[in-house]
Amino acid sequence: MIAVVDYRAGNLTSVKKALDHLRADAIVTGDPEVVAQADKIILPGVGHFSSTAILEQSGLRTAILHRINHGALFLGVCVGMQWMFECSAEAPGIPGLGLFPGACGRFTKSVKSPHVGWNSLTCHDESRLLRGIRSGSFVYFTHSYSAPVVKQTVARCEYGGEFSAAVEQDNLFGVQFHPEKSGALGLKLLENFCCLSC
């Protein structure tokens, strides 16, 4: 079972709809006990980094970390991916999970912000999540903050500098773009995640 974590942040409907389309066994839940039973966890998110504070208050952070430590597959989307890093300049007082090193920062003033639209990926590693998705493929982004390129980065994107478009390590996956809004290619990525075994 895939738990789509509900922390009142944006695109839950879209993510659930895409998973339904793929006939995945997924439920939307804000209940830490349900998350604690999940084989896979998706943390969506459009919006402000501060909205992740509710994950701490509700006990979801503990439940998620517990499941991750027991090998459950975790996919963070957009702010959900940023939360996997140490912190974000968008909400300095709120810690991320620190699963990946570094802090998320704002785009440089040389480009418009938010970064909205279809941008191309540079895939530069063997990735289980991006299987079948080639370098140069276009995916849909909408965000004002981004995560740095780190050694776990499996796809980069360029917008006023390079940032992590996708990160991956063992059972941990994150994408800055929105697979649920990236057409056939995005559905392919979600299908990859659904088909991965722990």
Partner 1 sequence: MLTKRIIACLDVNAGRVVKGVQFKQLRDAGDPAELAAAHSKAGADEVVLLDISATHEKRTTLADTVRRTARQLFIPFTVGGGIRSLDDVIAVFEAGADKISINSAALADPSLITRIADRYGSQAIIVAIDAKRVNGEARFEAYVSGGRNPTGRDAVDWAREAEERGAGEILLTSMDCDGTGAGFDCDLTRACSEGLNIPVIASGGGGDTQSFVDVFERGRADAALAASIFHFGLHRLGDLKQELQSAGIPVRWPC
**Would you name the residues annotated as active-site residues?**
78, 178, 180
Per rule CB under 8 A, is residue 17 in the interface with partner 1? yes
Stretch of residues binding partner 1 (CB under 8 A), selected from 5-13, 26-34, 81-89, 167-175: 5-13
Measured CA to CA, the distance from residue 167 to residue 163 in angstroms comes to 10
From residue 171 to residue 190, the character string flagging contacts with partner 1 as x (rule: CB under 8 A) and all else as - is -------x-xxxxx-xx---
Q: Which is nearer to partner 1, 169 or 188 (CB)?
A: 188
Contact call for residue 114 and partner 1 (CB under 8 A): yes
Does 119 bind partner 1 (CB under 8 A)? Our answer is: yes
List 98, 101, 117, 132, residue binding partner 1 (CB under 8 A): 117
Distance CA 104, CA 198 (A): 28
Dihedral of the alpha carbons of 45, 103, 66, 54, in degrees to the nearest 10:
-50
CB of 10 to partner 1, least distance (A): 6
Angle in degrees, CA 133, 170, 66, rounded to 5? 125
Under DSSP, is residue 40 helix (H, G, I), strand (E, B) or coil? Answer: strand
Helix or strand (DSSP H, E) at 127 = none
Between 147 and 166, how does the x/- string for binding to partner 1 read (CB under 8 A)? -----------xx-------
Interatomic CA distance for residues 3 and 124, integer angstroms: 29
Cβ-contact 82, 44 below 8 angstroms: no
| Chain positions contacting partner 1, by CB under 8 A | 10-11, 13-14, 17-18, 21, 46-48, 109, 112-120, 138, 140, 142-144, 158-159, 178, 180-184, 186-187
